[in-house]
A and B are shown apart, each in its own frame.
Chain A
Amino acid sequence: DAGITQSPRHKVTETGTPVTLRCHQTENHRYMYWYRQDPGHGLRLIHYSYGVKDTDKGEVSDGYSVSRSKTEDFLLTLESATSSQTSVYFCAIGQGEDTQYFGPGTRLTVL
């Protein structure tokens, strides 16, 4: 399995608080992705990165920001969490057109 870790694995927070999720890879893959998974919606892309400090928006980017200051780390920040952001968040890595490899996920609950 690709070396991808996500932290924290579970988090409960309150509406209006900032939250940062971390994705760490040891595979030196160029591309990194943040998805959210909700029942009936499959996976939806939030943001992705195609290199250090190079990021772009995905399908559901509103309310989220990202940063990638080094190859191995990709941070997802919810500036002011809302209940609609309660979800399971997955990080993935890849080398472009080829396979994406997924982390174990972070379950976020916003009360």
Chain B
Amino acid sequence: AQSVTQPDIHITVSEGASLELRCNYSYGATPYLFWYVQSPGQGLQLLLKYFSGDTLVQGIKGFEAEFKRSQSSFNLRKPSVHWSDAAEYFCAVGDSNYQLIWGAGTKLIIKP
């Protein structure tokens, strides 16, 4: 069955430190992969997406993600986090029925 796993429920990072959020997927075909961010009380905003081509994808707010087919992973990274990055981050994979399969989310906490 298709699934998305975000192993970390919470991650705490100091402001200015680097960040990596993990995402692993199970999907038979070439996946369409997405990262969304949700600030408290808000809807979800697209950070970046991978459909094909270059496996390192740049997104908004200084985020990037790397697709690694051999590891079935699509980890999100940022070299230096800001307090405003505190939010919940969701990884998703698109299936053949034009639906998204979602991970449970990772809540990012920023230490001053």
Q: Indicate the size class of the contact surface on chain B.
A: 20 to 34
**Quick check: B43 and A96 within 8 Å, CB to CB?**
no
**Quick check: B99 and A45 within 8 Å, CB to CB?**
yes
Contacts of A103 in B (CB 8 A): 43
**Quick check: A101 and B99 within 8 Å, CB to CB?**
no
Tell me the chain A residues, 65-111 only, with Cβ under 8 Å from chain B. Answer: 90, 92, 94, 96-97, 99-105
Residue of A33, A43, A90, A103 with highest tally of chain B CB at under 10 A: A43
**Quick check: A31 and B98 within 8 Å, CB to CB?**
yes
The secondary-structure label for the interface of chain A is strand
Kindly state whether residue A58 has any CB partner on chain B within 8 Å.
Answer: yes
Q: A42-B90, A90-B43, A103-B43 known; A96 and B104 CB under 8 Å? A: no
Chain B residues in contact with chain A, CB under 8 A? 9, 32, 34, 36, 42-46, 49, 51, 90, 94, 98-100, 102-105
